Amino acid sequence: MKKTTYLIPLAIFATLCFTAFKRDNHNFELSKQLNIFNTLIKEIDLFYVDTIAPEQIVKSGIDAMLSKLDPYTTYYTEEGSQELKMMITGKYAGIGSLIRFHDKKNSTVIAEPYDNMPAAKAGLKIGDLILSIDGVDVRGMSSDSVSNMLRGEAGTKLTVVVERPGEKKPLTIKIERESIALPPIPYYGTIRDSIGYLQLESFTENCSKEMRRALIEMKGKGARSFIIDLRNNGGGSLTEAIEIVNLFVPKGLDIVETKGKTKRANTTYKTTREPIDTVSPLIILVNGNTASAAEIVSGSLQDLDRAVIIGSRTYGKGLVQTTRELPYNSYLKVTTSKYYIPSGRCVQAIDYSHRNEDGSVARTPDSLRNTFYTAAGREVKDGGGIQPDIEPKGEKITTLLFNLIQDMSIFDYATEYALAHPTIAPAETFELSDEDYEAFKSYLKSTGFNYDKESYKILVQLKKMLSLEGYEETTKAEIEKLEKTLQHNLDHDLTFFAKDIKQLIADEIIKRYYSQAGSIVFAMRDDADLEESFKILGDRKLYKKILSPAEKGKEAKTDSKKK
C-alpha cells in the first residue's frame, strides 16, 4: 500500500519531467533553425555574386515553408494585405468588374462589369480588351498584375484605353475608383408555387443580415418554403455561418465546436437569436465547390434535420483560419483549429499532416470515414464533406465544352452576337435559335478551333504499352476500331453536344444584356437540382420521409454516443 502511494507521485513527476524535456527540446530546435535561417540570408546577401532582393527571396522561402502545411495557411505582405481584407469583408476599392486573361489576344479583357459600379458607369463593356492603364502598356501582363493596377484608393482616378469589338479606334475611358462591396446575394425571389429562392455567393461581413431581410421580404410575398443555393460558395466568416443557421433553428443550440492546439482555439458556438422560421420546408443546394462556412451551414442544418440537402458531395474543408498580425503591416492567415458540427463530425476530407512520398495528399477513403447520427437518428459520415440527402444526376462538362470555355470561343462569339443584336428576349424566355447555332459552328471553324480528346490521349499511351508488352499484333483490329471511333470529328461533336453548347452560348449572351441576375434566372430554367427541389417541396410526405431516420439508424443512435 505504502509502495503504491510513493509510486503514483513518482510516475506523475516523471511524466511532467518528460513533457518539459520534450518542450524544451522543441524550443531549442526552433531557435536553432531560426538562427541558421537568419545567418543563411545574411551570408547570401554578403557573398552571392549578384545583388539579391531581400523581400523576394524571403517571401519565396516563406511560401515554400507554408506549402508543407495546408493551402489555407498563407503569408500576406503589406502590398497583399488588401487581398486579405477583401476576402474577409468582401470590400475593396477599384472599378468593380471581373476581368480575364485572353490567351489568343495576349491581353486582359473585361469579363463582367458589376451593375451600378465604376466600370459599368464609365461605359466599359464585356469583351473590351485592356490596352493600357494610366499610360502603362498592359498587353501581355497577367490578369493579377492588371487587377492590382485597377485597384487603388477610393476617389482616385485612372485612365483606361481599351480596344472594343466593332470600333475602329481604341477608346479612352476615365474612371473614378470607388469602395466596392461585392453583393453576397446576387439574386433572390419568389418562384414556382410560393417557393422562395436565394443564392448566397460568399460569407462576408453582414451577409446574414442581408439574408434575414431577403427571407422576410419573400415571406411577405407569399413564400411558404425555401431553397438556399450554396453551390460554388467557397465559404468565409464562421460567425456569419452560425448567424445564418440561426435564421432557421431555435436559440441556444450548439452549432459548431472548434478544437485546436491552444485554449483560445477551443470554442463552442451557439445560436443566440430568435429565428425567423423553424418550420417551413427548407432545401439547401450544394456541389463540389461548396466549402468551409458553406459546409457549416449545410452540414449543421442536415445534422439538426432542419433541411434536405440536394446536389453533389461538398469539398470537405473542416479547417478554421485566424489572422495574425506580423511586423511591417504584413499578416499570416493560419489554420488554428478544426470545426465539428452538431452530430460531432468534422467534414475535413484531406489530412495535410500525412503526405505521400511525392509530397501529395489524398482524400480520406470512404472505408475510413466514421458514422455519426443526426438529431433524429439519420446516419451521416465524417471526413469527406457533406454527403447530400438527394443526388440528382447532373450533366458533366465534357472535354469539348471545357475547351470551348477555356479557349474563350463562346465568349468571343457572344460579344459579336451582342454587336449584331441591339436587344434580345428576356432571360426567362431567351433561346439560341438553330440558325444562330449554325452561325456559331461556322464562326468556330473560321477560328481554327481544335481540341484533344482525353480518351484519344489515353489510347495513344495504351498503344505504346501494348507494343512494349508484345500485344501489338493480337490487339491490332480492336485498337484500329477504337481509334476510328475516337478520331476527331468536330461536326459530329458539335451536333452531339448541341444542347449543352447552346446553353453555354445563351448564358454568355444573356450576361451582356441582363448581367449576373439575368444569368442566374436563365440557369434556373434547366437545373436538375432545382427540379428535384420542386418535386420534394411539392410533396410534404416525401419531404418528411427524407428527414426521418431508417429503423437501422434509430437502433444505432445510442451506440454513436459511445464514440
Closest-CA residue to 80 (of 65, 107, 98, 62): 62
Q: Exposed/middle/buried for 39, CB within 10 Å: 0-12, 13-18, 19+?
A: exposed
Q: Is 317 a catalytic residue?
A: yes
Cα(420)–Cα(165) distance, integer angstroms: 11
Catalytically annotated residue among 147, 202, 208, 292:
292
Asked whether the beta carbons of 308 and 390 are under 8 A apart, the reply is yes
Asked whether the beta carbons of 329 and 315 are under 8 A apart, the reply is no
Q: Is 493 a catalytic residue?
A: no
What is the SS3 assignment for 123? coil
C-alpha cell at 429: 424566355
Catalytically annotated residue among 128, 143, 305, 317:
317
DSSP characters for 213-274? HHHHHHHHTT--EEEEE-TT---B-HHHHHHHHHTTS-TT-EEEEEEESSGGG-EEEE--S-
Q: What angle do CA 229, 231, 237 make, to 5 degrees?
A: 85
Instruction: Give me the amino acid identity at 277.
Output: D
CA distances from 280 to 220, 283, 284, 342 (A): 14, 10, 13, 21
CB hemisphere CA count around 33 (13 angstroms): 6
Count CB atoms within 10 A of the CB of residue 417: 20
* Radius of gyration (C-alpha) of the chain in whole angstroms: 28
Count CB atoms within 10 A of the CB of residue 188: 24
Cα(355)–Cα(351) distance, integer angstroms: 8
C-alpha cell at 534: 420542386
Size of the chain, expressed as the number of residues it contains: 563
C-alpha cell at 10: 513518482
Instruction: Give me the amino acid identity at 219.
Output: K
Instruction: Give me the amino acid identity at 137.
Output: D
Asked whether the beta carbons of 158 and 543 are under 8 A apart, the reply is no
Residue 177 CA, chain-centre distance (Å), reads 27
Cα(273)–Cα(252) distance, integer angstroms: 8
Catalytically annotated residue among 70, 229, 277, 303:
303
For strand 91-94 and strand 97-102, is the pairing parallel, antiparallel, or unpaired?
unpaired
Q: Is 105 a catalytic residue?
A: no
Catalytically annotated residues: 292, 303, 317
